[in-house]
Structure 1
Amino acid sequence: MAEGYPWQATLWQQLAGRSQHAHAYLLHGPAGIGKRALAERLMARLLCQRPVELDACGQCKSCHLLAAGSHPDNYILQPEEVDKAIKVDQVRDLVNFVVQTAQLAGRKVVLVEPAEAMNLNAANALLKSLEEPSGDTVLLLISHQPSRLLPTVRSRCVQQACPLPSQALSQDWLAQALPECAEEERAELLCLAAGSPLVAARMHAQGVRQQRALVVEGVKKLLKQQIAPSPLAESWNAVALQLLFDWFCDWAQLILRYQLTRDETGLGQADMRKVVQYLAEKTPQPKVLQMQDWLLAQRQKVMGKANLNRVLLLEALLVQWASLPGPG
């Protein structure tokens, strides 16, 4: 049975304690805060034949079938391949499931994650089931970026924002999850994860702190003309494009912020503070704005899983970054 996280306690009481449930929920919030665990916990509660207070009993036939992954009234829709779209044929199969009668004479529960992975045709194919699902069916949609969903999908769901845990809760949870890490390392991971503790734990497993150190070192060498863009781009092959563009977008924003405020407390993480301040002082503001626009446009393509030439994209990024200091 799915376990909840401490920062979800109030939300769980609100959701599980409802006497009547909506036919569709949209659980949305940043990645890495436990939305999937919350949805699975609610799914178990909705399918359970003998719920105990706010949770599934874990002992009935329905709970055993769900734990085994063979519950006939449960349907999970997700991309067939990681980071790919949910296709219209997948949604049509889901619609066929929704119109069937529940085999255990109870509810049917559908989980869709991430909902924004549905392409346009797939999203449109789901609309009728969202508005009028057959029988006692509850659809649970999980979204990390609800702005990418069709307004017609959002409007047919009860929209439930899922909370980002407080700094204290995140640190406490990470201390238990990563006891082998020093407090300073956990704080750095949490910062890199934008406050999402589950993302921080995943980043630790993926060695993101080490990757960040490699990238920062490379950026400093690039600005000192100790390495050219092409070999530097190749040396970052192990670093995800999404991470690279997240970091460069963040640095561009920090440069612009410092130019506007001259606030040295807003220079970001210690590893790039001196670089950010140097670039802010040496780069004309229109040039920073142009760089920021380009970065955001490319980041959007990366997030949209566009078919990009990684090497050429990174070379273009590094050529422009190296040219920041100096006249526009």
Structure 2
Amino acid sequence: MAEAYPWQAALWQQLSRRERHAHAYLLHGPAGIGKRALAERLAGLLLCRAPTAAGACGQCKACLLLRAGSHPDFFELQPEDTDKPIRVDQVRELVDFIGQTAQLGGRKLVLLEPAEAMNLNAANALLKSLEEPSGDTVLLLVSHQPSRLLPTIRSRCQQQACPLPGPAAARGWLAGQLPELDAVVHQRLLELAAGSPLRALQLFRDGVLEQRTQVEEGVKKLLKQQVTPSELAESWKAVPLPLLLDWFCEWLLLVLRFQMSGDEAGLGAPQMGKVIGYLAGRTALPAVLELQDWLLAQRQKVLGKANLNRVLLLEALLVRWASLPRAS
């Protein structure tokens, strides 16, 4: 059974007590707050033959089959590879499943995550099933970025925002998962994860703390002309491209904020505070805004699974970044 996170308790009570369920839910919110677990709990509840107030019974035939990954009326759809979109032929298999009769005589359940990974053809192929699902079928779409979904997809689902835990709850949960780390590291991980505790845990397991330190040191060397953009781009091969773009977007936003306010409390984490202040004081505002527009456009391409040359993209970014102090 999927884990029940304490910050989801109120939402779970709301969902589990419904007598009638929507034919399609869009569970959305930032990555790393437990949306997938919530969807799995709801799927288990809706397929269970003897549900309780707490959720699925865990003992009936449907629960046992679901736990074993062999429930005939449950269909899960994800990208075949992390960096690939959900293709139209995958959605057509889903549509065929929806058109079938439930083998256990109850509901059919579809879990699709992340929904924004569908390419345009795949999303269009899903529309009719979302509008008129056959039989007693419930579709659970999980999305980290619902704004990237077609409006017609969003409008055919009951949209449900999933709660982000408060800072204290996030720190408490993460401390329980990583008791060997001190509170400073817990806070650092949560900052890197924008407050999402499950993402913070995954970042730690993926070695992102070390990667972030490597990137920060590389940026400092770049501005001191101790390393070239091409050398730096090659040395960051192990760092996921979306993470790199997120970090540069974060730093650029801090530069803009400091230029606007002059408040040193807004320089961000101390590891990059001096760099942010240096760039803010030596770069013209139009140059910062121009780089921000370019960076956001590249980030959108990456999130849209565009086939980009990683090294060339990073070299272009680093050349622009190194030129900021001279663009005054």
Q: What TM-score bracket applies, with the shorter chain setting the length?
A: over 0.9
1:27 shift after superposition:
0.3
The number of equivalent residue pairs is 328
C-alpha separation in 1, matches of 2:90 and 2:305: 19
Deviations 1:231-258 (A, max 9, x none): 1111111111111111111111110111
Letter in 2 for 1:86: I
Q: What is the match of residue 100 of structure 1?
A: 100
Whether the aligned pair in 2 keeps the contact of 1:127 and 1:153 (CA below 8 Å) is: yes
What pairs up with 1:1-328 in 2 under 5 angstroms? 1-328=1-328
Letter in 1 for 2:228: A
C-alpha separation in 1, matches of 2:242 and 2:89: 28
SS of the residue 1:72 aligns to:
coil
Deviations 1:87-129 (A, max 9, x none): 1111111111111111111111111111111111111111111
Deviations 1:45-82 (A, max 9, x none): 00000112131000000100000000011111111222
1:192 shift after superposition:
0.3
Whether the aligned pair in 2 keeps the contact of 1:17 and 1:54 (CA below 8 Å) is: no
C-alpha separation in 1, matches of 2:89 and 2:322: 46
Whether the aligned pair in 2 keeps the contact of 1:255 and 1:277 (CA below 8 Å) is: yes
Letter in 2 for 1:288: V
21-30 or 223-232: bigger deviation: 223-232
Deviations 1:129-156 (A, max 9, x none): 1111111111100111111111111111
Gaps of 5+ in 1: none
SS of the residue 1:154 aligns to:
helix
Taking structure 2 as the reference length, what is the TM-score of the superposition?
Answer: 0.98
C-alpha separation in 1, matches of 2:134 and 2:218: 57
Letter in 1 for 2:207: G
Taking structure 1 as the reference length, what is the TM-score of the superposition?
Answer: 0.98
Letter in 1 for 2:261: T
C-alpha separation in 2, matches of 1:93 and 1:25: 20
C-alpha separation in 2, matches of 1:127 and 1:222: 48
Letter in 1 for 2:126: L
Post-superposition, which runs of at least 4 consecutive aligned residues in structure 1 deviate over 3 A? none
C-alpha separation in 1, matches of 2:46 and 2:73: 11
RMSD (Å), alpha carbons: 1.0
SS of the residue 2:324 aligns to:
coil
C-alpha separation in 1, matches of 2:53 and 2:292: 51
C-alpha separation in 1, matches of 2:279 and 2:262: 13
Gaps of 5+ in 2: none
